[in-house]
Homo-oligomer: A and B are copies of this chain.
Amino acid sequence: MTERVLPVLEDLQEAWCRISPHLHRTPVMSSHLLDQLTGANVFFKCEHLQKAGAFKARGAINAVLSLDDDAAAAGVATHSSGNHGAALAMAASARNIPAHIVMPSNAPRVKKEAVAAYGGLIIECEPTLAARESTVATVIEQTGAHEVHPYNDSRIIAGQGTAMLELLEQVEDLDVVVVPVGGGGLLAGTAIAVKESNSNIEVVAVEPEGADDAFRSFGLGELQPQNNPQTIADGLRAGLGELNFDIIRKHVDTILTVPDTVIVQAMQLQWTRMKQLVEPSGAVSFAGLLEHPERFRQRRVGVVVSGGNVDLDNLPW
């Protein structure tokens, strides 16, 4: 069962206490060159340096440690083609329980290796959403494992929000924070962290143009489906979750979109100027600054770099 109660700041703070012993307090970097380029004062929150290479470890650890012993005994299950699978496998291994990760047969080799390296049990399925969901259902029926949804879950949202609690502690007087949006776990957690502690700070989300269901939903005030997403940012192809959308409507100021060309440009700048290996989805927030510089000029901007799990055999240039 996933949990779908709206989390509040106190839930994030509890999550932070729960997960801190198991995770990195990731550093904040800045770059004189990128400040010059954007005209802003940018603070990069380096979640690509988090365990398992992405912020996803925060939510996964929080969910796994929140289970009581009975619920945990049979392990956890999810379907994932990306970072959530590896993060859940890592979290489960920290508690010494099994993690059943359903992965589409066309998932990148590097993602499968990451799940396996953390001791996750990989169950392959056809690369369709229907096959993924039915395979997870079968796994749960057979094993009694507890499902942990990658974003539409209050424990996951609370966990992801801890990255922003950290950033607010590390950098004073931010004017605006910028995060990517896919399913909406990081964005919802970020929005709670910011607005319930300092509502003057603006919360901006950035989404790839080719997977813009959050942008459309936000504009229309009603959850819209993700239709055939086409973007290099493979971590942001998921459709926005319901619980996530409820929080985003309440707390987020703006959703911007960026074309893939600018995502690649942002990624290259973070590689060559900052020497940081950022994955396409991880570069989307900075791409927002490149595409919409007028919104950020002369402001103190917190940018979440969400992940760094790149397939080196498949670079976009």
Q: Which A residues form the contact surface with B (CB < 8 A)?
A: 27, 48-49, 53, 110, 268, 271-272, 274-278, 308, 312-313, 315, 317
Contact = CB atoms under 8 A, between A and B. Distances in A.
In order of increasing CB-CB distance, the 8 nearest A-B pairs are A275-B308, A275-B277, A48-B275, A271-B277, A277-B277, A49-B275, A275-B276, A312-B317
Contacts of A276: 275-277
A275 B53 contact: yes
22 contacts: A27-B27, A48-B275, A49-B274, A49-B275, A53-B275, A110-B272, A268-B312, A271-B277, A271-B312, A272-B277, A272-B312, A275-B276, A275-B277, A275-B278, A275-B308, A276-B276, A276-B277, A277-B277, A312-B315, A312-B317, A313-B317, A315-B315
A49 B272 CA distance: 11
How many copies of this kind of chain does the complex include? 2
Contacts of A275: 48-49, 53, 276-278, 308
A276 B277 CA distance: 6
Nearest to A273: B53
Contacts of A49: 274-275
A49 B49 CA distance: 15
Contacts of A315: 312, 315
Nearest to A110: B272
Nearest to A313: B317
Nearest to A308: B275
A268 B312 CA distance: 9
Given A276-B276, A277-B277, 17 more contacts: A48-B275, A49-B274, A49-B275, A53-B275, A110-B272, A271-B277, A271-B312, A272-B277, A272-B312, A275-B276, A275-B277, A275-B278, A275-B308, A276-B277, A312-B315, A313-B317, A315-B315
A274 B46 CA distance: 12
Nearest to A29: B49
Contacts of A317: 312-313
A268 B110 CA distance: 13
Nearest to A311: B272
A26 to B, nearest CB: 11
